[in-house]
Structure 1
């Protein structure tokens, strides 16, 4: 069994790449599984993977490093239930220091059970270009510190979403990035492209000794402050109407929430929503660098008219949790009419706790 640990900041496209990698491995006859990770409990990513028929488990309530025993339990559960050849473990986007707190403990306690372990770090190409051009990222200094440390500790860096970079700028960008970090392997990838994902899988096969990477030199106070400057909000919403307008109302809410966050000058780490209606599902994502999610007209056509629709919301935004919750409540309030029933469940909004690893092996 091989473990591929996948790190990288919020919105870097880890889940999409993992899902497409799993599909390719399944076509090769391999059994695969995914362990998702988040500070919250009701995850859009888990619904997304389930909808694609990919076996998955969750580590919730904190990052892998602070919930190592839960991660180990989920690996063993997956091993007993499906005997996967490959497990992808996707860490929460605000987590770093994975070598010392996850890879090395896995090698120490479970090394004999594993054929190989790797660590990949995903980074949005547009954010890396900003950083390379000495432009300030749209996060606080301490949150940016996490982003930088994620890149520093991994040898394999997947520069994702290169299709969103101007093609004329790409050659110089690639040359500059690789020249600055000659000790790292950079993959420039569009995770929606089969060939790109195949290149990542080939690189994982060639680098199965990532457990031997050096541990980070990291300031945990800066790390903890950076996480605490991000608000987490999760909830599940049901919209019921009597006139078939549930789809329209949901899309109005989604666009309204994204616009409200931007209008208030707040930085989105990731805003993920799963729409479920008429036995169909669609994931919508807004990230730090995106101006909009999926096209509204296409989604209206996909779902059609509906009297009932469910939304799962995972919002990670640089603000206070109560501010984020307030913005969502305002947008939901705009939907409430005599013909509309809005219900909310499993509401949680909070700041992540201070990172306290179960194990930290530096040697």
Structure 2
């Protein structure tokens, strides 16, 4: 019997870091764990990071799990069948950060069609407390709910577990107030605060996955037009860049410069950053991975490169509330800024920014069909 753990949550919440931390914790307990990343496009930065930490990794691209349901099932089967002498017993999968309605379109269909071979854990929504507080401040000011705020709220409403990641980024008093508020506002969910980066209280999240599914009998009423409009506010870019230089370049510093310049542009343009991530990988496999989750903030170094290099392949994943052409220009300018600062040259694939299409799930089961 396979245990399937579904993760959802808005862009930049730390789903990938959570997936790595929990997978490693489960492995330490003797489990054989595989993980699945997911995105609207291809060439995923997160997949490279996960593969540097875990052995059994796959991805579903070209749409969310709800619209790629059969691909998800096929990927789970491939991971289990290809596990070798020690079979996989747990699969953790993170959905696209702009996806919602997963109870009806993924969790219930899996339980209904594959319940004899698979236990589906409670649906976990990972949130960044600073992102939550930003949306909450807008609501407290009486501003009309934006489509992005609507999407964020739907992800919380359908959660069996609300996993408040990065709790160490706010004060203890603010953290306690936030946890109390979430527990009151979402009574069907278990609310867990932790830090995936440090590993603090990750064990409590694993315990919650063994608990009941509080939203199992609740039907989420999703306005798919608003859902689609929220996704369409974001331009999505997956860009491939070839980097070269006459003298070895600090790959981590180059990546930091790109994201800092992109964040400064977003701040000036008033563009909400869902997330911007990049890897800078040398020919020998050494790589840096950095991320940005808000305009005008300092990029986070998720992994530093071990040494400078004269050539590298760069993958940029950016999700920003702007027009695709604007994001293409902003990333190109940010790369040029980093090149000038670090003495590098670059060539890239043609701009690939796009806006997701209307979400059309393969299945949508009501609670009575669970």
Deviates more, 1:342-351 or 1:35-44: 342-351
Paired residues of 2:135 and 2:149 also in contact (CA < 8 A): no
Structure-2 separation of matches of 1:138 and 1:303: 47
- The 3 A distance-change label for structure 1 pair 30 and 137 is farther
CA drift of 1:131 comes to 4.3
> Who is 1:261 aligned against?
266
What CA distance in whole angstroms lies between the structure 2 residues aligned with 1:344 and 1:201?
Answer: 41
Structure 2 equivalent of residue 184 of structure 1? 189
| CA contact 1:31–1:84 (8 Å) conserved in 2 | yes
**Deviations, residues 26-47 of structure 1 (Å, cap 9, x unaligned):** 1222110111110011101111
Of 293, 315, 318, which residue of structure 2 is paired with 1:315?
318
Q: Is the 8 A contact 1:33 1:84 kept in 2?
A: yes
What are the within-5 Å matches in structure 2 for residues 201-240 of structure 1? Answer: 201-207=206-212, 209=213, 212-240=216-244
Q: 2:148 aligns with which of 140, 143, 147?
A: 143
> What residue in structure 2 maps to residue 285 of structure 1?
291
TM-score normalised per structure 1? 0.91
Aligned residue number for residue 107 of structure 2: 103
- Is the CA contact (8 Å cut-off) linking 2:188 and 2:214 kept in structure 1? no
Q: Is the contact between residue 132 and residue 177 of structure 1 (CA under 8 Å) also seen in structure 2?
A: no
The 3-state SS of whatever aligns with 1:235 is strand
Q: Deviations over 1:244-283 (max 9, x none)?
A: 2363544433322222222222110010111223642232
* Corresponding position: 1:159 with 2:164: yes
Range that drifts further, 81-90 or 225-234:
81-90
Q: Partners in 1 of 2:346 and 2:149 — Cα distance?
A: 37
Cα distance change of structure 1 residues 2 and 347 upon mapping to structure 2, 3 Å threshold:
farther
Q: TM-score, normalised by structure 2?
A: 0.89
1:306 is the counterpart of 2:304: no
Q: Is the 8 A contact 2:339 2:346 kept in 1?
A: yes
Out of 159, 173, 176, the position equivalent to 1:171 is 176
Q: Which SS does the other structure have where 2:51 is aligned? A: helix
Aligned length: 358
Answer whether contact 1:272 1:285 (CA < 8 A) is retained. yes
SS in 1 for 2:352: strand
SS in 2 for 1:191: coil
Structure 1 counterpart SS, 2:108: helix
Name the residue aligned to 1:40.
Answer: 41
CA 1:6–1:172 in 2, change beyond 3 Å: closer, same or farther? Answer: same
Q: Which residue of the other structure, out of 118, 122, 125, is the alignment partner of 2:122?
A: 118
Aligned equivalent of 1:325, options 321, 324, 328:
328
- Unaligned 5+ runs, structure 2: none
Contact 2:255 / 2:290 at 8 angstroms: preserved in 1?
no
Larger mean CA deviation between 304-313 and 61-70 belongs to 304-313
Corresponding position of 1:25: 26
Structure number with greater CO (CA < 8 Å, separation at least 6) is: 1
Alignment partners' CA distance in 1, 2:281 and 2:119: 39
| Alpha-carbon distance between aligned partners in 1 of 2:301 and 2:104, rounded to the nearest angstrom | 42
Q: Describe the superposition over 1:61-97 as per-residue Cα deviations: whole angstroms up to 9, x where unpaired.
A: 1111111111111111112111311101110000000
Q: Secondary structure of the equivalent of 2:262?
A: helix
- Give CA-to-partner distance per residue, 1:107-130, whole Å, 9 cap, x none: 121111113432101111123234
5+ residue gaps, structure 1, are: none
> Paired residue for 1:243?
247
